[in-house]
Copies of this chain bind each other. A is one copy, B any other.
Amino acid sequence: MRERLTVVKVGGKIVEEESSLLQLLNDFAAIEGCKVLVHGGGRSATKLAEQLGIESRMVNGRRITDAETLRVVTMVYGGLVNKNIVAGLQARGVNALGLTGADMDVIRSVKRPVTTIDYGFVGDVKQVNAGLLGDLIGKGVVPVMAPLTHDGEGHMLNTNADTIAGETAKALAALFDVTLVYCFEKKGVLRDENDDDSVIPSLTLPEFHQLQAEGVIQGGMIPKLENAFEALDAGVCEVVITSASAIHGREGTHIRK
Contacts and interface: CB of A to CB of B under 8 A. Distances in A.
Contact of A156 (B76, B83, B136): B83
Nearest to A77: B79
Given A102-B90, A103-B96, A104-B97, A80 B83 contact: no
A102 B87 CA distance: 6
Contacts of A83: 74, 78-79, 100, 102, 148, 156
A81 to B, nearest CB: 9
Interface string A137-165: 00101000000101011111000000000
Interface residues of A, number: 40
A84 B73 CA distance: 12
A194 interface: no
Interface of A: 48, 51-52, 71, 74-80, 82-84, 86-88, 90-91, 95-98, 100, 102-105, 132, 135-136, 139, 141, 148, 150, 152-156
Given A75-B79, A132-B139, A102 B95 contact: no
Contact of A78 (B78, B88, B91, B156): B78
A105 B132 contact: no
Contacts of A102: 83, 86-87, 90, 96, 98
